[in-house]
Amino acid sequence: MRAAVLREFNIPITVEDVDLLDLDPHRVLVQTKASPFCSTDVTSFHGNLGKVPPTILGHASTGEVIEVGTQVEGIRPGQRVIIPGTPECGNCYYCGIGRPDQCSELFDIGGIYPDIARTAEGLPVSAAGCVGGYAEIMNVSKNQVFPVETDLPYDVLSLLGCGITTGVGAVFNVAKVQPGDSVAVVGCGHLGLWVVQAARLAGAGRIIALEPHAGRRSLAGELGATDLVDPSVQDAADAVKSLTAGRGADIVIEAAGSPDAQRLALEVSRRAGTVVFSGLDQAGAEVKLPQIPLAVQSRQLLSTQNGNVRMRRDLPRYICLLERGMLDAKPIITSRYSLDDINLALKKSENLDDLSGIFVF
């Protein structure tokens, strides 16, 4: 199969033929139909997330099942499936307490992802994040394959493995936004724009978008933000206070990734408010936060991986919202690429020229 292989950090990714390894009894082969280029992979490309080359990036995808291992039940060739960035093994401690977003099958393997193929010269190639969506075929654990019944196009479905689940899940599962709440969203990229849409669905009274990029800020307005703030020219804390009776936002969701953005999120929240961190800068990054807003002023500081979703419960809900047009993927999908465009997609993501660029196969 053809795959985009990261051979070395900071060196253009090569699209090459690789040989898939034999299918393990517990794994599934999926014909890739669409994979979104995720901004996280810019960080991985630069070697800042601990990936080990040669590897195939792309940590969320969608496609059609080709073949299932001999021990796989409930998944059949021909099914349309979502391959999210997080498996749900159903057996580990975290799956047992209803937190499959922390499933041991991903988080307790020490960052060593399974080899799924070999290069022409015989080097083993892993699937980064256990998915490897930037390739014609994915070889994935059965616990990472979620069949769906919907006629939504694959490019839209591909966003359910990372962007939609993280953004929408942050609003409903983590922040638990109530009708009338004031919600500030720090960062309106591909993730924050899903947060804005979900906050509108939740009935937020005010949705305040904090975003320096003019195009993204105005799109946030089109998708439901009631107030737009440019934190690069305005004092964001003053602006948010003036919109919330001098208090700060009831709920703040950070969707930008940098430690600065996370500090800003705390700064624009009200006393006893809720702050949710969902972005990631790079492995080893640290956030320094003032103590008074957290201790004396009792803000609830939460964080989330993949929106704390449970795929079997939340996928059908989010698909229903997409089908009814209550969540809109159209403005989020800004480019469609073939696999050969991988380095262009990377550059456009890094330059903020794309929200979500999708590889279609």
- Which residues are at the interface with Zn ion (CB under 5 A)? 38, 40, 89, 92, 95, 103, 162
**Closer to Zn ion by Cβ: residue 4 or 95:** 95
- Local structure of residue 198 (DSSP, 8 states): H
Q: Quick one: 48 exposed, middle or buried, by C-beta within 10 A (0-12, 13-18, 19+)? A: middle
Residue 144 beta carbon to Zn ion: minimum distance, rounded to whole angstroms: 11
CB 205 within 8 A of CB 181: yes
- CB closer to Zn ion out of 107 and 361: 107
Nearer to Zn ion, 126 or 165 (CB): 165
Name the nearest CA neighbour of 139 among 129, 128, 127, 148.
127
**Which 3 state secondary structure label does DSSP give 247?**
coil
Cis previous bond, 54, omega within 30: yes
Output the smallest distance, CB 85 to Zn ion, in A: 6
Query: Least distance to Zn ion from the beta carbon of 306, Å?
Result: 9
Closer residue to Zn ion, CB minimum distance, 274 or 356? 356
Q: In angstroms, what is the minimal distance from the CB of 39 to Zn ion?
A: 7
Nearer to Zn ion by Cβ, of 54 and 167: the residue is: 167
Closest approach, Cβ 294 to Zn ion, in A, equals 28
Least CB distance to Zn ion at residue 105 (A)? 5
When the beta carbons of 62 and 244 are compared against Zn ion, the nearer one is 62
Please state the length of the chain. 361
For Zn ion, the closer of residues 95 and 358 by Cβ is: 95
Alpha helices in the chain (DSSP H): 40-45, 93-96, 104-107, 154-157, 163-169, 192-201, 214-222, 236-243, 259-267, 311-323, 342-350
- Looking at the Cβ atoms of 243 and 261, the one nearer to Zn ion is 261
The torsion region of residue 308 among left (phi > 0), alpha (psi -120 to 50) and beta comes to: left
Element (H, E) at 8: none
CB of 317 to Zn ion, least distance (A): 20
Integer angstrom CA distances of residue 17 from 1, 4, 21, 34, 135: 5, 9, 13, 19, 10
CB 171 within 8 A of CB 342: no
Distance in angstroms (rounded) separating the CA atoms of residues 107 and 210 = 32
CB of 90 to Zn ion, least distance (A): 6
